[in-house]
Amino acid sequence: MLKAIIVDDEQHCIDRLTDLLEYNGHEVEIMACCKTISEAKKQISMLQPDVLFLDVQLGNVTGFDLLAQIDRLDFELIFTTSYDRYALKAFKFSALDYLLKPIDRMDLMEALKKVRDNRNLKETAKKIDVLFHNFKDGADPSKRVAIPTMDGFTMVDTGDVIRLQSDGNYTHIHTNGNKKITASRTLKYFEEMLESNNFFRVHKSHLINLSFVDNYAKGKGGYITLTDGTKIEVAVRRKEELIKRLAPNS
């Protein structure tokens, strides 16, 4: 039985989530439903929930503001949101779970299953750290990113990632310190996440950080040499776009 607190400023959202959780049987016990940050803060410290359903947009403030005010994050976190691209991106970077409203019953069950299976409060804290890091340094192109691996998560600075190479459903991430991280996500997952951070998919199997490009040798598609010495083939169809990105004024 998981102890849960729901934070949402709209009653019908609370009602719907409550309905869905109750319909699921006796796996989740809803201990409180809060509409404001102050109330939520009080309830959290009092009730010590296992899982917090947190709406991103709470009137004029956000769910992140609530998290910022909590000293000890000893609960799992599931964000709920309707449509907020910025927040979604932040969740993806920090690998935090989120549910999109109107919440799909199947999605909710999956999220709860994850909470039950991989309860790891330390990691959740780290993910929230990443979230805050990215939130604060909105202008900094180097963001932290929580990379899901086989055994959990690794936090990496996007500014340290040189390139990512696809390997079926996995992705090898090569970083500046000559480290290699194997992520349990497809290259597409990372492409979507990182494309606005100066990363570019030069090839079906390669996503590179353009900040680490040493030179580009023309050819049919050509080759990119990165600062660590690796040569990456450029797909013919990506060549034009790549040149545009490397030398926007030419």
Partner 1 sequence: MPDSIKNIFFALLFFPLWGTSQQNLLDSLQQELANHVTKDSIRAGLLIKIAGEMTYSNPKDAFPFVEEAIAISTTTDWSKGESYALRQQGNLHYVMGDDLAALDAYQKAQHLAQTIGDKALETSLLSNIGNIFADLKQYDRALENYEAYLNSARALGNIPDEIKALSNMAIIYNDTERFEDGVKYLERALKLSKQEKNDLFIAAITNNLALAYKKLGQYPKALMHYQEAADLAHEIGNKYIEASALNSIGTVNIILKNYELAAINGQRALDLSQEIEAVEWQADSWKVMSEVYEHEGKMAEALSAYKEHVRLQDSVLSEEKKSELTRKEMQFKMERQQAEAEEEIRRQQLVKNGYLAGAILLALISIAGYFLYKRRRDALEKKRVAEFNAKVAETELKALRSQMNPHFIFNSLNSISDFISKNDVKQADEYLVKFAKLTRAILENSEKKWITLEEDLELMELYMQIESIRMANKFQYHINIDETIEPDNTLVPPLILQPFIENSIWHGIAPKKGEGEIHINIKKEGDMILCTVDDNGIGRSETKKLGGKKSSLGVKITSNRIEIINHLKNTKGSVNLVDQKEGVRVEIRLPLELQF
CB of 40 to partner 1, least distance (A): 26
**Single-letter amino acid code for the residue at 218:** K
Among 155, 174, 156, residue whose Cα is nearest residue 164: 174
* Identified binder of partner 1 from the candidate list 22, 104, 137, 140, rule CB under 8 A: 104
CA dist 88 and 94 (Å) reads 10
CA distances from 193 to 85, 86, 186, 223, 241 (A): 12, 12, 11, 24, 19
CA dist 188 and 201 (Å) reads 9
* Identified binder of partner 1 from the candidate list 122, 136, 231, 237, rule CB under 8 A: 237
CB of 188 to partner 1, least distance (A): 8
* Identified binder of partner 1 from the candidate list 1, 12, 102, 150, rule CB under 8 A: 102
**Single-letter amino acid code for the residue at 202:** V
CB of 106 to partner 1, least distance (A): 9
Stretch that binds partner 1, among 1-9, 66-74, 136-144, 232-240 (CB under 8 A): 232-240
Residues 158-187 as x/- pattern, contact with partner 1 by CB under 8 A: ------------------------------
Nearer to partner 1, 12 or 180 (CB): 12
Say if CB 1 and CB 50 are below 8 A apart: no
Asked if 238 interacts with partner 1 (CB under 8 A), we say yes
Going by C-beta distance under 8 Å and a sequence separation of 6 or more, which residues neighbour residue 78?
Answer: 51, 52, 53, 54, 97, 98, 99, 111, 115
* Identified binder of partner 1 from the candidate list 204, 218, 231, 244, rule CB under 8 A: 204
Query: Using CB under 8 A as the criterion, which residues of the chain lie in contact with partner 1 when the complex forms?
Result: 83, 100-105, 188, 201, 203-204, 235, 237-238
